[in-house]
Amino acid sequence: MTSSRSPWRRLQRNPAAVLSILILILVAFSAIFGPGFMPRGSGEVTRESFLPPSEAHFFGTDLNGRDLLFRVLIGARISLLVGLAGAFISFVVGIVYGMIAGYAGGRADSLMMRLVDILYAIPRLIFLLVLISALDPILRELMVGHGLQSLVGYSKIVILIFSLGLTEWLTMARIVRGQVLSLKSQQFVVAARSLGQTHRNIIFRHLLPNLVGVAIVYLTLTVPAVILDESFLSFLGVGIQAPLASWGLLLSDAAQVINPIKGYWWLLIFPAAAMSLTLLAMNFLGDGLRDAFDPRQRR
């Protein structure tokens, strides 16, 4: 392995990671601009249900006669949005929590980490469901109260982002705390402290820049995890709801109509391919980033 100083250089030498970046750019572009190029009314309910893939409908049509390609692209928008935003929330919460615990040390640290242990011991699914069913009516009321009736349909997306972000930060907090603990004992931090630098300076100038790399690597692995969780919730019927679409919702619709007599294979294959290609690329990229940032710990 040739060692070069910049992690980005190392990343560029990893063909799987470069290919993943290209795939992700492609997916993002087609999700943002793709639906605009489709014929009008592609997302409307028609009588042409369960048409197999053809030239008119590349991915076929679903139960309600909607074009599946259109649904997959719209679903990509929501899945990607929820994944990115949810992972970002977990990133912020995890860093803040982990830094406070690690920097404060002592009793505060062990108390905060015991809380993380306890939260780990409750199945995440239950937390998610409780958060969703508690927050949903509150947000709806807020939206109606502020004259935002037109946005009520999207309230579920906001709820999902927050619920997933607020349940996914535990591992991030552990990683960040570990980093802070090991950085804190290193000489440059000890020196900064004995020179009488403020806590603010030490945290923002010395600790944060040194741990953000590790945190970002873990963030890239959190995005696919959140997308997977969202699809799981939509599958259970507590996530995104029609007429909106997410990959999870499309897959859940497909899983319901697949049976031995009628093999509507396209309903399952195309959303599954879109979703797994994206998640695969994200995981490859995350692995590549980890190797690039930490060449000692090769996996």
Partner 1 sequence: MLRFIAKRTLGLIVILFCVVSITFFLVRLMPGGPFDRERKLPEHIEKQLLAKYKLDGPLLDQYFNYLKDILHGDLRLSTKYRSRSVNEILAGALPVSATLGGIAFCIATLGGVLLGTLAASRQHTWIDRTAMLSALIAISLPSFVIGPLLVLLLAITFPLLPVGGWGTARSLILPSITLAAPYTAYIARLTRGSMLEVLTQDYIRTARAKGLSENKVIYKHALRVAILPVVSFLGPLAANLLTGSIVVESIFSIPGAGGFFVNSVLNRDGFLLAGVVIVYCTLLVAFNLLVDVMYGFLDRRIAIYD
**Does 255 participate in binding partner 1 (rule CB under 8 A)?**
yes
Contact 93, 169 (CB under 8 A): yes
Our CB check for partner 1 shows the closer of 51 and 116 to be 116
Q: How far is the CB of 164 from partner 1 (least distance, A)?
A: 15
Q: Is the distance from CB of 104 to CB of 180 less than 8 angstroms?
A: no
- Name 121's Cβ contacts closer than 8 Å, sequence gap at least 6: none
- Indicate which single residue of 254, 285, 289, 292 sits in contact with partner 1 (rule: CB under 8 A): 254
Nearer to partner 1, 194 or 297 (CB): 297
Measured distance CA(86)–CA(53) in Å, rounded: 34
Nearer to partner 1, 119 or 212 (CB): 119
How many of the chain's residues bind partner 1 (CB under 8 A)? 40
Instruction: Give the Cα separation of 69 and 90 in Å (integer).
Output: 31
Determine, following the binding rule CB under 8 A, whether residue 298 of this chain makes contact with partner 1.
Answer: yes
Cβ partners under 8 Å of residue 8, min gap 6: 292
Does position 39 interact with partner 1 (CB under 8 A)? The reply is no
Distance, CA of 67 to CA of 38 (rounded, Å): 10
Candidate residues 36, 145, 209, 260; the one interacting with partner 1 per rule CB under 8 A: 260
Minimum CB separation of residue 60 from partner 1 in Å reads 15
- Applying CB under 8 A, the span of 52-60, 193-201, 207-215, 250-258 interacting with partner 1 comes to 250-258
Task: Work out how close the CB of 197 gets to partner 1 at its nearest, in angstroms, rounded to a whole number.
Answer: 36
What's the rounded Cα separation, in Å, for the pair 123 and 243? 30
* In the complex, least distance from residue 199 CB atom to partner 1, rounded to whole angstroms: 31
Site string for partner 1, 129-168 (x = CB under 8 A): xx--xx--x-------------------------------
Please tell me the distance from the alpha carbon of residue 299 to that of residue 105, in angstroms, as a whole number: 31
Cβ at position 178, least distance to partner 1 in Å: 15
Cα 121 from chain centroid (whole Å): 22
Contacting partner 1 within 194-233 (CB under 8 A): 224, 228, 231-232
DSSP strands (E only) in the chain: none
Q: What would the two tokens of residue 146 be?
A: 């502020």
CB of 160 to partner 1, least distance (A): 15
Cα 59 to Cα 62: distance, rounded to the nearest angstrom: 9
Nearer to partner 1, 99 or 238 (CB): 238
Interface of this chain with partner 1, residues 96 to 135, rule: CB under 8 A? 117-118, 121-123, 125-126, 129-130, 133-134
Please count the other Cβ atoms lying within 10 Å of the Cβ belonging to residue 157.
Answer: 19
The DSSP-derived string for 28-39 is HHHHHHHHHHSP
CA distance linking residue 57 with residue 223, whole number of Å:
30
Residues ≥6 apart with Cβ < 8 Å to 19: 281, 284
**Closest distance between partner 1 and the C-beta of residue 24, in Å?**
13
Please give the residue ranges that form the binding site for partner 1 (CB under 8 A).
Answer: 117-118, 121-123, 125-126, 129-130, 133-134, 137, 224, 228, 231-232, 235-236, 238, 248, 251-252, 254-255, 258, 260, 263, 265, 268, 272, 275-276, 279-280, 283-284, 287, 297-299
